[in-house]
Amino acid sequence: MYFSKFKTFEILCGISILIFLSSCGIYKPVDARKVSPNADERVKKNLEEGKGFTLMGGGSNKNTNYQFASSNPMWRASLEILDFLPLSNVDYSGGIISTDWYNEGTAADESIKITIRFLTNEVRADGLKIIIHKKKCNIQQTCTVKKITSAIESELQVAILRKAIIYEKEMVNKNRKKRPKLKD
């Protein structure tokens, strides 16, 4: 008697679960004529419709190149070169580093502000743009700000590029060591 009640309960639970699954839309029968037999095409379509996810870079995003601040040699070099300055805005996704107003102490009424804009992730001379602003204040604290062209721009660019090349070489050497050697 106990066994038959338990079996009936089990069957009713199974039917209830099936009805629940079919009513919430989890299970939808599909017409085989409308679905491609090619698995890659099905995966691509599901990902485009937001119905799936990828693990370990699988799927249609095989050529995507993600870079993080720590793996970008130009970014790391710029931060290292500007480490003596107070930074006001550092935005990796926007590709900009902006310092706060800086005064060396030689001229109390003059300050400079340096902005570096990254135009590419590659280590190239045209991959970054350095902008320098100069602020000059008088005794009444009335200040004028002007964009200037200075030797500091080219000196910073050369220093950043040299440091970035060093970082890039280190990264290449580290990646070579990680790769397993092929046996003949």
* Segments making up each domain of the chain, as ranges: 2-48, 69-178
pLDDT at residue 145 greater than cutoff 90: yes
Give residue 35's pLDDT: 74
Distances (CA, A) of 102 to 6, 82, 97, 112: 80, 11, 14, 5
Mean pLDDT of 127-139: 91
Q: What percent of the chain has pLDDT over 90?
A: 30
Give me the CATH code for the 69-178 domain, please.
3.30.310
Give residue 129's pLDDT: 93
Give residue 94's pLDDT: 84
Query: Does the predicted TM-score (pTM) go above 0.75?
Result: no
> Helix crossing, 151-178 with 73-81: angle to 10°?
130
pLDDT at residue 105 greater than cutoff 50: yes
How far is residue 120's CA from residue 128's CA, in Å, rounded to a whole number?
7
Mean pLDDT of 99-103: 91
* 144/171: higher pLDDT: 144
Q: Does residue 150 sit in helix, strand or coil?
A: coil
* 34/23: higher pLDDT: 34
Count CB-CB contacts under 10 A for residue 135. Answer: 16
User: Backbone phi, then psi, for 14, in 5-degree steps?
Assistant: -60, -45
pLDDT at residue 58 greater than cutoff 60: no
* Mean pLDDT taken over the chain: 80
Query: Which residue, 140, 147, 151, is CA-closest to 109?
Result: 140
Looking at the chain, how many residues does it have? 184
Give residue 99's pLDDT: 94
For residue 144, what pLDDT band results from cuts at 50, 70 and 90?
very high
With contact defined as beta carbons under 8 Å apart, do 79 and 98 qualify? no
How far is residue 9's CA from residue 24's CA, in Å, rounded to a whole number?
22
